[in-house]
Amino acid sequence: MEINKLASEKIAGKVVLVRADFNVPLKDGKVAEKTRLEESLPTIKFLLENGAKRIHLLSHLGRPKGQVVPELSLKPVAEELQKLLGEPVEFRPAASLGINSFTAGEGKIQLHENVRFYPGEKKNNPEFSAKILAETGAEVFVNDGFAVSHRAHASVVGFAGKIPNLAGKLIEKEIKNLSPFLSKEKIAGLTVIIGGAKMETKTAVLKHFAETASNIIIGGALANTFLVAQGYNVGESLYEEDEVETAREVLEMAEVSKTGVHLPVDVQCAENPDSESMYFPIDDVIGSLKIFDIGPRTIASFREIIAHSKVIMWNGPIGFFEKSPFDSGTEAISREIMKNKSAKTILGGGDTLAALKKFGIAKSEFTHVSTGGGAMLEFLEGKELPGIEILKV
């Protein structure tokens, strides 16, 4: 994929507008997890070191739905970013809900308030993007927000055709690491691990890898839907009845392509997350039991597959990892992936990152940890992402 990349001659002496992804968790008014801020540093530092006249940073935080929500202000992000950069970062607040409240300051680096406070952001209102350009005097736009590149929002695509659009260092890294998985041919030794709850965002990816992967491991509530498709009783476990037929389609495609699909053979169940749990063979799940994690036999089976894989792609937790003891499956899988140093390992999704943090596993243990959840999945489907399309040569 040929894209317009950052280069010194393209930004020297210019006012640069950057769409970053600072959608980070906050706790007690402070940034609780800094991955996305850290991933933005290479682009910001490149701009500083190569003569950018001024840098205007745009981002969203949470889902304020076009209204000012003080708890979703980017002010704490500006403070943390300043620490990480070792450079002053001027925070620019939003004065009101109207388009005309967007104003620039005097700082070399300016982080503007949550763009989703403005109704024009999600609507891709041309007046809003024009106001941003007029107020900042931006001469170049850099998209470095991979996690929002599947959104046709004003701060992502609204500057296309008005000023040059370039890919930031993070976007460049994401494309480089994810593009090989777009292959229509079998990828030797590829194991894809898909967890989480919903089929909706993962159907196309599952169908793609049903044809190109060697193995697909399915966990989380997603596995329950596949188990029902195979005729198993899952008690009162969470599953999607209207997606059972889709699950059957994925299984049939995998069988035709000789791709192994691996589901839990035993599970950890309880009547609710706070009650006593027990392990059951999948055949014995009945009544009011709910599946919250995979069991020891399944963990052993999944470990064996991972240990012999040459390429591993993981998106989504294997169980209800947020609460012990239902975190054992996700932790075992994450540590087995980490142990396979001979494999190329690609991870993605917000819950996946949260699991690594919980288990004290450094992102550096893996080949690439994507900052995108939905964007990563849509990219792997082969969809045209609006925020990537504007960067193509």
* Residues with catalytic function: 36, 198, 350, 374
> Rg (Cα) of the chain, in Å, rounded?
22
Taken as a whole, the chain contains a residue count of 393
- Paired sense of beta strands 290-294 and 266-270, if any: antiparallel
Residue 315, number of CB atoms within 10 A of its CB? 24
48 token code pair = 């500083």
The Cβ of residue 195 has, within 10 Å, a number of other Cβ atoms equal to: 27
Residue 268 main-chain phi, psi, to 5 deg: -100, 120
DSSP for residue 220: H
Beta strands in 153-310 (DSSP E): 165-167, 190-194, 215-218, 260-262, 266-270, 278-281, 290-294
> Taking phi first (over 0 means left), then psi (-120 to 50 degrees means alpha), and beta for anything else, what does residue 316 get?
left
Sign of the four-CA dihedral 201, 293, 362, 34: positive
Sign of the Cα pseudo-torsion (55, 60, 64, 70, in order) = negative
3-state secondary structure of 141: strand
